[in-house]
Amino acid sequence: MASPSLPRAAVRILSALVLVIAVVRGNEMLDEDDPLQPTAMDQTVAVGGTVILTCTVPTSDNSSLQWSNTAQQTLYFGDKRALRDSRIQLYRSTSTELSISISDVELADEGEYTCSIFTMPVRTVRATVTVLGVPGKPVITGFEEQVQEGGSVTLTCTSTGSKPPAKLRWYRGDQELQGRPNVVESNPGAPTYTVISELTLTVTRDDNTQKIGCAVEHDSIPHGETKRTEERLNVLYSPSVQIQPSSDLPREGEKFHLECVSHANPEPTSFNWDRKDGQMPPLAKKVNNMLHFEALNKSDSGVYVCYAINNIGQEQSQYTLLVQDPTAMSTSSGVDHAVIGGVVAVIVFIILCMLIVLGRYLIRHKGTYLTHEAKGSDDAPDADTAIINAEGGQSADDKKEYFI
């Protein structure tokens, strides 16, 4: 008669008890130089990643290796799957190695995993898996409010889901800014954290449209990657004003205009023109930020002022207009040309004088050479001797001939 089979739950409990007893007895007899002692390494992985657990022994006695999870449930016994979890797969199985992979890692997978080899006694090693909670992309609040030049704005950066707590840093462009110390809050029902950082800025007009960024730093973020959020400041400021003339040499009778260039936030709502030292010329026309002169007159010379106005305030700039006489300009130009022509004439005269002196020197040097060449012919007794002396300074005795 067949004996009744034990329920599966009882079998699992009995197997676990046997394993625990074997592990305890094995640890009591553990020898560091034991050639069958398994080894494994601790691993760190981010949520959603994949971790590989490897257990090896120096030598093999054909005993099977086994991996168990944090609840002491057998995952793989040799190359045989024991726990139905599609995330856990066999990576490699040999007589001296058992490696498994766990994909889509969750925070609950963190803990100690046990590798055992069923010899007598049973030998074990533990490997700790640390799971990192990945921080979410930072969120910045406070930019929706406009701030006037000289005022202050407080910005808040928040990142959730990190484990251990992440670090937040503030930037203006690439320049790091000093914010308040990070505040860490535990998330209810999860072993993760929310990190909060605040930054207070006193703004100037140069900060308008400037990018302010918040970046999160954490071990779970791969090297070379960043999680950063940027927003632009909206700074309100009064106009800055500058007057630009259409010409640097305004001449009488010519067309001319002045342009009032302004930068402001918001943009100027109106421009006004005025003359500081008298009445505005009757023929001058004001068109928005432009002041037009159809034909300049000497009487138009003066100091002109432009006013730019927006909701924040009013600023001004002035320009001194000096209308030039076209005749005087031509005379001055003629004088300049005359001076340049005189300088050129002097230079040419000096060069000609130098050429004449050089020519005379060369002619005199040639005559002296000819005179020295004829020396020695004056005292010759006859014409033949004179010629010989003139040619080479040789005496007539050198040319004697003897006849036998």
Per-residue pLDDT tens digits of the chain, which is 404 residues long:
333 333 444 435 444 444 444 444 444 344 557 888 999 999 999 999 999 999 999 998 888 999 999 999 999 999 999 998 999 999 999 999 999 999 999 999 999 999 999 888 899 999 999 999 999 999 999 887 789 999 999 999 999 999 999 999 999 989 999 999 999 999 998 899 999 999 999 999 999 999 999 999 999 999 889 999 999 999 999 999 999 999 999 999 999 999 999 999 999 999 999 999 889 999 999 999 999 999 999 999 999 999 999 999 999 999 999 999 887 555 444 555 667 777 888 898 899 888 888 878 787 766 554 455 455 545 555 555 555 555 544 444 444 444 43
Q: What is the pLDDT of residue 395?
A: 44
Q: Is domain 139-233 in CATH 2.60.40.10, yes or no?
A: yes
pLDDT for res 257 = 97
The CATH superfamily assigned to 237-326 is Immunoglobulins (2.60.40.10)
Residue 357: per-residue pLDDT: 84
pLDDT value at residue 327 = 77
Residues 6+ apart with CB under 8 A from 382: none
pLDDT of residue 360: 81
Q: Which amino acid is at 228?
A: R
Q: Do domains 8-132 and 139-233 have the same CATH topology?
A: yes
The 10 Å Cβ neighbour count of residue 30 is: 13
Amino acid sitting at position 275: R
- Tell me which amino acid residue 168 is: L
So where are the chain's domains? 8-132, 139-233, 237-326, 356-392
Provide CATH code, domain 8-132: 2.60.40.10
Closest CA to 214 of 255, 169, 251, 172: 169
